[in-house]
Chain A
Amino acid sequence: MATITETTETTGQPEGGAFPPLDSSTFPSQLFWLVIFFALLYALLSRLVLPRLAAIMAARKNQIDGDVARAQALKNETEAALRAYEKSLADARSNAGEIGKATRDKAASIAASQQKALDSELAAKIKTAEDTIAKAKAKALQSLHTIAADSAADIVAQLTGVKTLKPAAAKAVAAVKN
């Protein structure tokens, strides 16, 4: 043991025999108490401390897993609700389109039939009015002929004294008119 001489040289202590870590006289007590203390440490850790830490961490893991699962369920629910909303929105939109189209068509047909009725009524009124005008015109022309013939006969009677010329004058007016 080279260390023995070396140690005694450097320390010079009376008690110091061997290099302490290799001094076998201290081995029995170290070994004895190491076994006791290590067994105590093992018992305390495995019975008391580690189950406690494991329980804390398991509780956290459960909590997190549960929360994540609940969040996922809520997310799915939200997505389903959103899909339902979008579907009903699309349905309402297409319904509205149909209703609008039907209403437009109905209104257009009503307008068309009213237009037609009005048109025919107006046409009838125009026709009667035209007839009345034509009659009035014919009557006016007729009276004009009579006046012309009478005037002509009167002028001739005044000039010549011949009174029975009226039919001849009417004949002449009719010939001129034609």
Chain B
Amino acid sequence: MVNDPIHQFRIHNILGPWNILGYDIGFTNSNLFMGFIVLLTVGFLLLTTTKRALVPGRLQSVGEMWYSLVHNMVENVLGHEGAAFFPLVFSLFSFVLVANMLGMFPYFFTVTSHVIVTASMALFVVGLVVVVGIMKHGLGWFKLFVPSGVPLAILPFISLIEIISFLSRPISLGLRLFGNMLAGHIVLKVFAGFVVSLVALGLGGIIGSLAPLLMAVALTALEFLVAFLQAFVFAILTCVYLNDALHTHH
């Protein structure tokens, strides 16, 4: 059963089931890890800044790098007007990063391997873009879908493409993260499963298991990279999309 690569994504109630409006909102293992993410992120960042040293030590440097990475990203993409969105982008980045990194521990649950989590965050971001865009530019914000300087004959066609590309943003944003985390964890589990199955076959199997073992080690390294990269991509795409809400320079 434990060899089943899908088992790691299974959700079960820890507390509950509690029913609200006919929906079960019992506290599950996934929710427990969401709590861990909050605890770890806030706890770690507070721990790194306890000394408030003028010359940062190792821990404080990590906290400051974490901060500067997102701060520079928001500054570069959104400019000074984007400062209001910095806490949000930082929260999204930290949530995804810590979720992905926690998922790298064996027997831990990967919150971001569930499409409902990633899709909700992506829809929230794109919804925020629409709300902020209309609040800032009024209905003129919809000019985003009507690029200037395009001949009238092909304008409807271009607008259609613009609208489709805008609507596909939450899908690409949410599914990219979900797909990466899901596939990575399945592949890791499959290769690790090979090792266990082959070793059970005896001496020949032990020698043969070296290949999937090396593969699993290499994939683990790759998955750490992917875990960081996907968090980074999620954050920077959030910035790029929010940029459309702030500046309609199409």
A residues near B, CB below 8 A? 7, 10-11, 13, 15-16, 19-23, 25-34, 37-38, 40-42, 44-46, 48-50, 52-57, 59-60, 63
Nearest 10 interchain pairs by C-beta: A46-B87, A28-B23, A33-B31, A20-B9, A37-B34, A32-B25, A53-B67, A29-B25, A26-B11, A42-B91
Inter-chain contacts of B94 with A (CB < 8 A): 41, 45
Q: Main SS of chain A's interface residues? A: helix
Segment touching A, from B44-52, B139-147, B221-229: B44-52
Inter-chain contacts of B41 with A (CB < 8 A): 41, 45
Segment touching A, from B114-122, B129-137, B158-166: B114-122
A40 to B31, CA, bound (A): 13
Is B37 an interface residue, CB under 8 A from the partner?
A: yes
Q: Main SS of chain B's interface residues? A: helix
Q: Which of A22, A46, A52, A56 has the most CB of B within 10 A?
A: A56
Given contacts A21-B114, A21-B182, contact A48 B42 (CB under 8 A): yes
Closest Cβ neighbor of A54 among chain B residues: B67
Closest Cβ neighbor of B22 among chain A residues: A28
User: Other than the known A21-B182, A37-B31, what 4 A-B pairs have Cβ atoms closer than 8 Å?
Assistant: A37-B35, A38-B34, A40-B38, A49-B46
- Contact A31 B46, beta carbon cutoff 8 Å: no
Inter-chain contacts of A25 with B (CB < 8 A): 24
